[in-house]
Structure 1
Amino acid sequence: MKIEGMNHFTVISSDLEKTKAFYLEILGLREGYRPPMESTGAWLYAADQKHSLLHIMAERPMPESAPGVIDHMAFTATGLQTTINILKQHGIVYKLNRMKELGVWQLFFYDPDGAKVELDFSADEPEPQQ
């Protein structure tokens, strides 16, 4: 066996519509096909990808510790300044790190239920106005 890549992340939501709106509006993901299931949820996709990237599950009890054993999920992104502007418009607190040796800007923030999200931008992106 060999791992060929990451398939998807799953987050548990206390409010499906609020969580969906967060990932659609803030991260720019799009809702797509989700096969019929007994549980309520949504599958979200990035750009024109054919496989879902993020699954949202509702109607499950929230864990005592929101991040559980997974610390965070990370996505490759573009448009650092635009993303910061969107986070500010929505009142989302964020932390920005520049990892010059890795060639990335790392932007960290939390979804409505406390899941930590990291967006990685090329170090070539201009330094944002915070």
Structure 2
Amino acid sequence: MVTGIAHICILSRDLAATEKFYVEILGMRKKFDFLRSGQRIGFYLEVGANQFIEVFQKSDREIPHSSAITHFCLQVNDIQAVSHHLHKHQIDHQAPKLGADQSWQVWCNDPDGIAIELHQYTALSSQFTGKDCQVNW
């Protein structure tokens, strides 16, 4: 059912310094920015084929005590089937929704409370088009 890890999400105190480290030092490619009211609040880094790191400003999101990683994301082929499967196994989850990046997502938590995003790309997904995401959350 799961076909790979789509992205991890990390928080940054300094977006420019984080971008410089991952792009200039480690050689990743910035794919697109997250914008809110014209202000950059984060960005996506391309790690490899369909593999990404999502970065947001620390001040924009709460950080758990021990980590700046907020969730991990697993790529799936059929978001509706995944939602049905979770329901069948009585796993509490959010209904499938189209995210700001134009990818389908379902959210749940593992038994320890770790947030998991299950993610299905579409032809319009920013991860493929490079189009910036306009967020309203």
| TM-score in terms of structure 2 length | 0.39
Q: Which is richer in helix? A: 2
Greater relative contact order (Cα < 8 A, sep 6+) = 2
| TM-score in terms of structure 1 length | 0.41
